């Protein structure tokens, strides 16, 4: 009898262990699946539908170059808020700074019965085919912050980037003196913003500064850091750097401070929160302030004006100002 009792207890223990061992992997697998889903959602789910609903009378589609930049996040928020105010459906897709993805995204938007297409190009040339595709389907196109090189566009809404580049160069001359050696960090080479800001800067710098090098850092903070490190090594007498946006300027500032060259003046473009803080702290010489919220609002308002058949200017400028300490 004692042996039977021991056998029964042993059998119960085995069954209990088996039950525990079959539960544990299931829980772990579910956790792994949830973690995988969470990791993938950030990269795959790039579409955001905001402002209005399916019952809205009109729909505006917006292809934005990137949301990995505070300037464009603020611009998108301004557009979203205006769409809410006007009661239109607003569909936004993030191109993630990928030319091919933007063209594909726009093709998808055109299949969604939108009334107006707003585009903030990753590249002013690469986006041409997408703009022409919208033209072929009689969908009005509005470009935002960056222009398209070809294709029919109803209006372009942006700051005057040439004037902004000139403002930056004039400030640089004031801060480092005429004829001083400076560098230029350029944005994405195919973008109208990079071309125009560079044009404006060099309009003034050509006669007033010694631009020893102009190198692209693609509007990216990490690239701004790396490129600036290389520039500093080859140009120990550098007195200043103008970056086509604040993200590159902040990367350059990081490299300059790490090298102990705090006397090198950094001037950016956009007046993002981090850059304005750096200016207020005396770490940056200045930044050209755009108004991304207003640009987004104006773009959606212009879309509504087009829908309603109102007259609209071919270029709607948004005022710039200089932020200094």
The sheet with strand 321-323 has its strands ordered as: 210-216, 181-186, 240-243, 265-270, 286-289, 321-323
- Cβ pair 176, 239 in contact under 8 A: yes
How long, in residues, is the chain? 325
Query: Fold match between 48-153+293-317 and 161-289?
Result: yes
To 10 degrees, what angle do helices 99-110 and 128-136 make?
A: 10
The reply to whether CATH 1.10.10.10 applies to domain 48-153+293-317 is no
Which CATH class name applies to 161-289? alpha beta
Of the candidates 87, 91, 82, the one whose C-alpha atom is nearest the C-alpha of residue 111 is: 91
- Which tokens belong to 64? 């934005």
Q: Please give the structure tokens belonging to residue 177.
A: 């003196």
Q: Is the pLDDT of residue 12 over 90?
A: no
pTM score, whole prediction: 0.76
Q: What rounded mean pLDDT belongs to the chain?
A: 87
Could you tell me the residue ranges of all domains in the chain?
48-153+293-317, 161-289
Dihedrals φ, ψ of 56, to 5°? -65, 145
Q: How far apart are CA 209 and CA 169, in angstroms?
A: 8
73-88 tens-digit pLDDT = 999 999 999 999 999 9
pLDDT tier at 48, thresholds 50, 70, 90: low
pLDDT on residue 52 = 52
By the 8 A CB rule, do 194 and 270 touch? no
């Amino acid at each position: 009898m004692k042996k039977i009792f021991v056998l029964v207890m042993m059998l119960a223990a085995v069954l209990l262990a088996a039950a525990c061992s079959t539960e544990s992997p299931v829980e772990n697998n579910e956790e792994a699946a949830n973690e995988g889903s969470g990791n993938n959602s950030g990269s795959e789910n790039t579409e955001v539908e905001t402002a209005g609903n399916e019952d809205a009378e009109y729909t505006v589609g917006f292809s934005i170059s990137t949301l990995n930049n505070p300037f464009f996040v603020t611009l998108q928020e301004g557009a979203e808020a205006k769409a809410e105010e006007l009661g239109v459906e607003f569909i936004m897709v993030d191109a993630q700074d990928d030319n091919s993805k933007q063209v594909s995204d726009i093709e998808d938007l055109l299949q969604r019965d939108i009334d107006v297409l707003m585009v903030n190009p990753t590249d002013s040339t690469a986006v041409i085919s997408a703009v022409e595709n919208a033209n072929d389907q009689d969908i009005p196109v509005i470009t935002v912050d960056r222009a398209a090189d070809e294709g029919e566009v109803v209006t372009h809404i942006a700051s005057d980037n040439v004037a902004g580049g000139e403002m930056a160069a004039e400030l640089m001359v004031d801060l480092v003196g005429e004829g001083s050696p400076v560098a230029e960090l350029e944005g994405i080479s195919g973008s109208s913003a990079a071309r125009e800001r560079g044009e404006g800067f060099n309009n003034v710098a050509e006669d007033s500064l010694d631009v020893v090098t102009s190198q692209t850092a693609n509007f990216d903070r990490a690239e701004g850091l790396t490129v600036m490190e290389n520039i500093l090594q080859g140009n120990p007498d550098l007195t200043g750097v103008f970056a086509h946006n604040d993200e590159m300027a902040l990367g350059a500032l990081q490299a300059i401070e790490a090298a102990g060259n705090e006397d090198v003046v950094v001037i950016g473009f956009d007046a993002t929160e981090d850059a304005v803080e750096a200016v207020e702290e005396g770490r940056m010489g200045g930044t050209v302030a755009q108004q991304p919220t207003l640009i987004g609002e104006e773009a959606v308002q212009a879309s509504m004006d087009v829908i309603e058949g109102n007259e609209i200017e071919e270029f709607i400028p948004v005022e710039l100002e200089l932020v200094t300490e």
